[in-house]
Amino acid sequence: MLVTWRYQERKSIIQYFDPRAWIIFYICFIASTVFFWDLRFLSFFFFVALLVAITSGIRWKEMRRGWLFIGAFIIFFSLLTFLTGRGSMELYTTEHLIRNINLPFSVFGWQPMLKITWEKTFYAFSMILRVFSLASMTILLPYSLDPALYGIIFKGLGLPDKFAYGMDLTMRFIPTFGRDFQLTMDAQKARGYELEKINGGLFKQVRKLAPLMVPVTIHAIAGSEDIIDAMDLRAFGIGIRTWIQELHYHKRDYWLIAFSILMLLLVIALSLFGIGKFWVPASLIV
Amino acid sequence: MKIPDLLTIENLNFRYLIREEPALTNISLSFSSGEVALIAGASGCGKTTLIRCINGLIPHSYRGVKSGRIMADGKDLAQLKLAEISQMIGTVLQDPERQILGTKVINEVAFGLENLGFNRQEILERVDESLARLKISDLRDRDTFSLSGGEKQKVALAGVLAMRPRILLLDEPLASLDPASAEETLAILRILADEGMAILLVEHRVEDVLKIHPEQVVFMSNGEVRYQGNAEDLDESINYRDVKLPAPMIIERARNQKPAVSFPVFELPASNRESLVSFVDVEFNYEEGVPILHGISLDIHQGDVIAVLGPNGAGKTTLVKHAIGLLKPKAGQVLIGGQDTCKMSVAEIAQTLGYVFQSPSHMLFAPTVEEELSFGPQNLGHNKDSITKEVKEAIDIVNLSGMEQIPPLSLSFGQQKRVSIAAVLAMRSKILVMDEPSAGQDYRNYIDFMDAILQLPNFDAILFITHDIDLAVIYANRILMVNNGQLVADGKPQDILKDYDHLHKNRLVPTSLLDVNLKYLGKTGRFMRAEQLAQVL
């Protein structure tokens, strides 16, 4: 059976709007953010994302795991690009040194040196703001959209009935997969299986994951067959569907949609003029 | 008005494409409106295939070779689309978990009508009508995943009834229900039949269904109909070891049976007061303020065979998961051999305590049954020779000999369940814990493996969760009754199960076997199975 994300009705900016309007805003926000590498523009999106997160009414405890995962992910990759300088090479061609740091150890007589430049530093900050904004806006969605409305939201956004219901099932498949994974993990642990003890070569390690991956995959496939049977037995897909839930736009929703579209158009226009590319203050690199 | 032959099946034969042997042979049956028909038989007898042929999933979703004809209300089903069939014939699947699609109850019940494109107003009216008919209007705006097993079954039924079918098919609808929910579901089905619906009920809990006086009973075996007629005459044609018949019926028949059968002697060590597992004031909750377990204190001693009884959602599985260390108490302690489970890994605990999960599909992964069974002992570091011995013995106990090289995932649900039990038996843990060992099993199979398990000299104690009071009557020497996260009774079966008021309060329904056992307890001195009673009385 499909389970849902932990949705609750909350007093928040997100839930103040019609979910369709919010999805449109979300898509425009994501599209706009990825146009920029300029820290000044990214700060705007970062603050919007931060504001939405703070006013979301979702307690830290509820989404701590998600945040910790994303936080660790962002920091790890930002640090990696900062230390290696990889990944950012297409954005700048020259670098301006802040200082060289000799690392306090040597490898076979060679002493590694960390070259800290303004470009690398600004790139790391831009990266953090950018990924945080995208991740934060995304992670809030499942906690803020009523699962009973998934289908009608996508139908309302213009998808045909079958796709809209498909999206509804897909959104619920993710937490269901998580639950099944946990159940399998528990069942195998009770048979003495310990994930921590997996070692050996890559192939061997993957093989040793079979006790987790096989049941979870098979269960997902069998589960989808059950879902298809249950849908077929109740005449799904035979014609135009009625959706008992109704959504109604309010004035504020039209304002949000207009703002979202204008924002995206403006961003596209700015980027056509070459504005918003990677930026380091000129005063620092004279 | 009663319509005779509302559904007729003429010379139906079917073989799945992937199988060589036929699943159904020469089935000819007819069902009238206003009647309950019980279709009984052991696992693999063709009951589910018959249901699929009637509701159109065969040939729509399952391919095979089919011949014969099924007519419903004068129409040949082969000429109808699945959507047309579904308006005439409603199906409730075995496990409501596998049928419910809606996030909220109202969405679930409305689903079929939404697909048929009814207008919103009419859908809402029909949804309310269906919910009211099953007396579950209060569930209308609840999330489906938060419902108990019994509530889910009723919601799944409401979703089918909203489409106003004239024929209702139910595939083992009682399998996951506590006794009181099963009784309520059956009572509803009787009412629906009396109102004019034709009800086809596939179930091997024959005893329970007989309580609602089915007008027709069909007994199937190996894809063929062995008996078709009324309930009164069925005992002559059905082997009482294949399906669960009422105890007086079994006693009557076993009495006439020559030679008398002998019954297994259980080999558990003599009881002593040494505590193997201790729960000390255990509290547990997932969300603050919503306790799942509250103030649980108990000891499991050597020689205990414990049946954990209680309604759906009472906290039975949560309690047992504390014993294996998969859940740690929020307050209090769980001790295994004097050691706190908070300080032990689940793998360490598994050496002492083997846990068979409710659903086998969450654990089976290996390419052969043999490898599946070796997995646990290998993890526990057993040597190769003992693993071979342990695996062979476990396979014999669950009656899967000859299937060693077959992939467990290709087996039927009942067989998978037995593999999952064997997988834990092979680990040779000192305490065996089973969550609903009889769910999805036919009567003969679970009685056979329970007999075999109890005869093993390996275990210090056995604990099983069950909805089947008879399983507790036959095998347990101690009952733990759990309700609302609390231990509401702990004692000998004779003491706990004689209090019928208390049983009803905990959504348990006394069975005919319990009745007979209590009646003759003075003479027998202990609880026993119906065949044994036949010899003693």
A4 vs B contacts (CB less than 8 Å): 103, 143, 145
Residue A175 · residue A3 · CB < 8 Å: yes
For an interface test with A, the pick among B123, B124, B320, B365 (most A C-beta atoms closer than 10 Å) comes out as B365
Using the predicted structure, report yes or no on whether residue A53 has a pLDDT greater than 80: yes
What residues contact B85, with CB distance under 8 A and at least 6 apart? B55, B56, B72, B77
Bridge partners of residue B353, in order along the sequence: B431
Gap from B65 CA to chain A (nearest CA, Å): 20
Using the predicted structure, report yes or no on whether residue A92 has a pLDDT greater than 80: no
Contact A232 B424 (CB under 8 A): no
Confidence at residue A50, expressed as pLDDT on a 0 to 100 scale? 93
Phi-psi region of B527 (alpha: psi -120 to 50; beta: other; left: phi over 0): beta
CA distance A103 to B349: 46
Confidence at residue B2, expressed as pLDDT on a 0 to 100 scale? 78
Other beta carbons within 10 Å of B196: 14
SS3 for chain A is CCCCCCCCCCCCHHHHCCHHHHHHHHHHHHHHHCCCCCHHHHHHHHHHHHHHHHCCCCCHHHHHHHHHHHHHHHHHHHHHHHHHCCCCCCCCCCCCEEEEEECCCCECCECCEEEEEHHHHHHHHHHHHHHHHHHHHHHHHHHHCCHHHHHHHHHHCCCCHHHHHHHHHHHHHHHHHHHHHHHHHHHHHCCCCCHHHCCCCHHHHHHHCHHHHHHHHHHHHHHHHHHHHHHHCCCCCCCCCCCCCCCCCCHHHHHHHHHHHHHHHHHHHHHHCCCCCCCCCHHHCC
Q: Give me the residue from B87, B102, B145 closest to A235, CB to CB.
A: B87
DSSP state of B297: E
* Domain extent listing, chain A: 13-284
Confidence at residue A98, expressed as pLDDT on a 0 to 100 scale? 77
B391 vs A contacts (CB less than 8 Å): none
Comparing alpha-carbon positions, the chain B residue that sits nearest to A235 is B83
Contact B61 A238 (CB under 8 A): no
For an interface test with A, the pick among B55, B62, B125, B145 (most A C-beta atoms closer than 10 Å) comes out as B145
Q: Give me the residue from A190, A223, A239 closest to B346, CB to CB.
A: A190
For an interface test with B, the pick among A193, A233, A236 (most B C-beta atoms closer than 10 Å) comes out as A233
The size of chain A, in residues, is: 286
B127 vs A contacts (CB less than 8 Å): 244
Confidence at residue B340, expressed as pLDDT on a 0 to 100 scale? 94
A245 vs B contacts (CB less than 8 Å): 107
Total beta-carbon pairs less than 8 A apart between chain A and chain B = 166
Q: Is the ipTM of this complex over 0.90?
A: no
User: If you average pLDDT over residues A50-67, what whole number do you get?
Assistant: 87
Residue B527 DSSP SS3: coil
Closest C-alpha to A154, from A253, A19, A252, A258: A19
Contact A234 B112 (CB under 8 A): yes
The single-letter code of the amino acid at B141 is D
Contact B101 A245 (CB under 8 A): no
Quote the percentage of chain A above a pLDDT of 70: 96
Contact B350 A244 (CB under 8 A): no
Confidence at residue B274, expressed as pLDDT on a 0 to 100 scale? 78
Confidence at residue A185, expressed as pLDDT on a 0 to 100 scale? 92
Contact A244 B112 (CB under 8 A): no
Closest C-alpha to B178, from B146, B210, B150, B211: B150
CA distance B211 to B207: 7
Closest C-alpha to A26, from A40, A14, A8: A14
Phi, psi of A245 (to 5 degrees): -75, 145
Residue A114 · residue A83 · CB < 8 Å: yes
Residue A33 · residue A52 · CB < 8 Å: no
For an interface test with B, the pick among A244, A246, A247 (most B C-beta atoms closer than 10 Å) comes out as A244
Q: Rg for chain B (alpha carbons), in Å? A: 24
Strand pairing category for B36-40 and B64-72:
unpaired
User: If you average pLDDT over residues A78-85, what whole number do you get?
Assistant: 78
Contact A190 B350 (CB under 8 A): yes
Contact A230 B112 (CB under 8 A): no
Confidence at residue B365, expressed as pLDDT on a 0 to 100 scale? 92
Confidence at residue B265, expressed as pLDDT on a 0 to 100 scale? 66
Using the predicted structure, report yes or no on whether residue A94 has a pLDDT greater than 90: no
* Domains recognised in chain B with CATH numbers: 7-99+165-245 (3.40.50.300), 275-511 (3.40.50.300)
CA distance A23 to A257: 9
Confidence at residue A155, expressed as pLDDT on a 0 to 100 scale? 94
Contact B424 A191 (CB under 8 A): yes
Question: Which residues in chain B show pLDDT less than 50?
Answer: none
Contact A242 B347 (CB under 8 A): no
Q: Give me the residue from A3, A184, A189 closest to B145, CB to CB.
A: A3
Gap from B379 CA to chain A (nearest CA, Å): 5
Contact B61 A3 (CB under 8 A): no
Confidence at residue A73, expressed as pLDDT on a 0 to 100 scale? 86
Residue B198 DSSP SS3: strand
What residues contact B37, with CB distance under 8 A and at least 6 apart? B31, B198, B199, B200, B201, B214, B215, B216, B217, B218
CA distance B282 to A122: 53
Confidence at residue B485, expressed as pLDDT on a 0 to 100 scale? 92
CA distance B243 to B229: 16
Confidence at residue B267, expressed as pLDDT on a 0 to 100 scale? 63
